[in-house]
Amino acid sequence: MPENEEIIRFQNVGMRYGVGKEILHDVSFRMQAGSFYFLTGASGAGKSTLLRLMYLAQRPSRGLVTLFGHDLATTPRHVLPALRRRIGVVFQDFRLIDHLTATENVALPLRLAGASDAQIREHVPQLLKWVGLGDHLDARPTTLSGGQKQRVAIARAVIARPHLLLADEPTGNVDDSIAMRLMHLLEELHRIGTTIVVATHNQQLVSRFAHPQLHLVNGELSQALPSPGAGASG
Amino acid sequence: MFRQSAIMPLSRDAASRFLPWLIAFMVWLATLALALVLALSTMSEDWKRGMSGTLTVQIVPGPNSTPVAEKERLDAALRLLRQTPAVLSAEPLPGDRIQKLLEPWLGENAVSGALNLPVPVLIDVRLKPGTSIDAKALGATLAAAVPGAMLDDHGVWLERLIELARAVEFVALAILAFIAVAATATVVFATRTGLAIHHEVIELLHVMGARDGYIASQFQRQTFWLSLKGGLVGFLLAAGTLAALGYLLSRIEAGLLPPVGLTPWQWGSLVSVAVCATVISVLTARYTVIRAVGRLP
C-alpha cells in the first residue's frame, strides 16, 4: 500500500443500536497508509463500536465511511469480503476457535485467502515462533494462558499481511512486561508498512509511544498529537 | 499435507446425529410411495394392453336347452363374429379351461362333478391390430341373431380399475410431495440449529473476509455426507421391504392378483429418490446458510 494513501475516512458518522441513544456522534477523521494511532477513551466511550465500524462488523446509522477508497454505502456486498481480508483484527476477547490448534487458528486467514498447504506450513509455524509460541504449535486455546492466547490472536491478525491492523485492548489481559512485548511487536509491523490502530484505555501505555491519538469522550472524537517526551520507552 | 480440522465441528452437533436417521426414514417412505406409483402404472398399462383388442362373448344356456341347440347357437355366433371385418379371430374357450377358471370360486366338482352346474359358453374374440369396433352395435346384432349371447368389451371393469389405480397413484404422489416438504423442513431446522450453535465462529469468519459461499460450503459438505448416509440406509431398507412384499405377493395363488414387479429402469428411479434427497438437502442447507449469513452487515 503506497504511503500517504488514505486508508480510512469517517465523515460525520453516527452510530446507534436499534432505537437506543447514539453511541458515536459526528465522528470524522482520516487515516493515511502506514500510520499508527491509539484510540483512547474511558470504558463505554465507544472505542469498540468505532473499531467494529472500521472492520465492517457494523454499518453506521448515518455518515460516510470510506475504506481503501471504497465508499461503503455504495460498495456492492460481494466486494466487502476482499476488503475485510485486507484488515487484521485483534479482538479484546481473542475469539480463538477452541477446537482448533494454535497453528490452525493462525492459518485461518490464509485459508480464507486461498493459500496452499505448503504456504501455510511454511509461514504459520514461523510466525508462531516469532511471537514466542514455537513450542505451542499444536496447543489448543483452552490450554494456553491469557498472554499466549493474545499472541496467537495477534499472529492470526497479521499472518495474511493486512494493510490495516485493528487491535482492541491488546494489552488488557496481560501483565506489563508482556504488554510491552506485544506493543513492540505491533511497532515492528508498523515499521514494515502496516497501518495500525490500537484501542486502549491505558494512558500510561499510550504515553510510552510517540503516536497520535484518537480520543473518544461520550461518543465524540478529538484528535491529539503525541505529548512532548512521549515514546521514551517505545 | 497440512492437517486441518473442520472450522466448525458440525459433526459433533446433536442435529448431525438425528439427521441421517430422519433422512433414512423419509427416503424409505418416499421410495415405497414411488414403488407403488411405478407398480400401479405398470399394472394399469398391462391391463390396458391385455384388454384392448379383445372381446368376450358369453352365451348363456337356455332353460331345457339341448347340447345340439347349444352347438347351433355357438356356431351361429362364431359365424357372425368371423364375418365381422374387424375381427381377427373368434375361438370358443375349451370346457376344461372354463372349468379351471371357475374352480377357485366354485370348487372342483361344480361344473363336471356332482353339482354339474350349467355354465355359459365363452368365445374369446381378438380384433385386428389398429382397428376399433362399435361394441354396442355388435352386441345388439349378436343378441338379435343368437338368443342369450352377450358381448363384453371389458370397458366398464377396466375403466373402474384404472380409475382406482390412478387414485392410488395420486395419493402416493401426494405422499411423496409431503415427504419432500418434510425433508426440506428438517434440513432447514438442522441447519438453523447449526447456525445458532456456531454463530460466533460464523461471525468471526465473516469479519475475517470469508465469502458467504465459503461459510455455506462448511454446512453443505456436512449435510451432503449425512444425507448420503441417510439416503443409502433408507434405500436399502426400502429395497428390503419391497423384496419382502414381492415374496409375500408371489405366495398368493396366481390369477387372484396380476403379476407385480419392477423393471431395472424402475429400480433406477427408486435409487434416484436417495440421490434427490441428498441434492435437495445440500441445496436447502446452502440456501438456509446463505440467507442467514446475508443478514450480517
The answer on pLDDT for A229 being more than 70 is no
C-alpha distance from A42 to closest chain B C-alpha (Å): 25
Distance from CA of A170 to the nearest CA of B (A): 17
Is B170 touching A (CB cutoff 8 A)?
Answer: no
- Please indicate whether residue B36 or residue B155 has the higher confidence score (pLDDT): B36
B82 touches chain A (CB under 8 A): no
Q: What is the mean pLDDT of residues A188-214?
A: 89
Contact A108 B207 (CB under 8 A): no
Q: What is the pLDDT of residue A227?
A: 57
**B196-226 per-position pLDDT tens digit:** 999 999 999 999 999 999 999 999 999 999 9
What is the value of pTM for the model shown? 0.78
Residues of B in contact with A57 (CB under 8 A): 203, 206-207, 297
Instruction: Pick B209's closest partner by Cβ from A85, A97, A99.
Output: A85
Rounded to the nearest angstrom, the gap between the alpha carbon of residue B154 and the centroid of all alpha carbons in its chain is: 22
Higher-pLDDT residue of A81 and B42 is A81
Residue B1 has pLDDT above 60, yes or no: no
Q: What pLDDT does A1 receive? A: 59
DSSP letters, chain B, are ------SS-GGGSHHHHHHHHHHHHHHHHHHHHHHHHHHHHHHHHHHHHHHTTEEEEEEPPPTT--HHHHHHHHHHHHHHHHHSTTEEEEEEPPHHHHHHHHHHHH-TTSSSSSS-----EEEEEEEPTT----HHHHHHHHHHHSTTEEEE-SHHHHHHHHHHHHHHHHHHHHHHHHHHHHHHHHHHHHHHHHHHHTHHHHHHHHHTT--HHHHHHHHHHHHHHHHHHHHHHHHHHHHHHHHHHHHHHHHSPBTTB------HHHHHHHHHHHHHHHHHHHHHHHHHHHHHHTT--
Q: Distance, in angstroms, between A130 CA and closest chain B CA?
A: 20
pLDDT tens figures, B23-35: 999 999 999 999 9
Q: What is the pLDDT of residues A62-77, one digit of tens each?
A: 999 999 999 999 999 9
The answer to whether the Cβ–Cβ distance between B207 and A58 falls below 8 Å is no
Most confident residue range from A180-184, B46-50, B115-119, B156-160: A180-184
Residue closest to B123 by CA, chosen among B138, B103, B137: B138
Residues of A in contact with B9 (CB under 8 A): 99
Whether residue A89 and residue B207 make contact (CB cut-off 8 A), yes or no, is yes
Which residues of chain A approach chain B closer than 8 Å at the C-beta?
55-59, 77-78, 81-87, 89, 95, 97, 99-101, 104, 107-109, 111-113, 117-118, 120-121
pLDDT (tens digit per residue) in B189-200: 999 999 999 999
Q: Is B106 on the interface with A (CB under 8 A)?
A: no
Tens of pLDDT, residues B105-151: 777 766 665 566 777 888 988 888 877 778 888 888 888 888 888 88
Whether residues A57 and B297 touch (CB distance < 8 A) is answered with yes
Q: What ipTM goes with this model?
A: 0.90
Tell me the average pLDDT of chain A.
89
- Which residues from chain B sit within 8 angstroms of residue A117, using beta carbons? 1-2
The more confidently predicted of residues B15 and B240 is B240
pLDDT, tens only, A103-154 = 999 999 999 999 999 999 999 999 999 888 989 999 999 999 888 898 899 9
Contacts of B217 in chain A (CB under 8 A): none
Q: Report CB contact under 8 Å: A56, B210.
A: no
Tell if the CB–CB gap between A117 and B204 is shorter than 8 Å.
Answer: no
Over residues A195-215, the mean pLDDT reads: 89
CB B130: neighbour CB atoms within 10 A? 7
CB pair distance less than 8 Å for A82 and B297: no
Contact between A95 and B204 using a beta-carbon 8 Å cutoff: yes
Q: Which chain B residue lies closest to A114 (C-alpha atoms)?
A: B210
Q: What's the mean pLDDT in A72-87?
A: 95
Q: How far is B260 from chain A, CA to nearest CA, in Å?
A: 55
Average pLDDT, chain B: 86
Whole-number pLDDT of residue A234: 42
- Judge whether residue B3 has pLDDT over 90: no
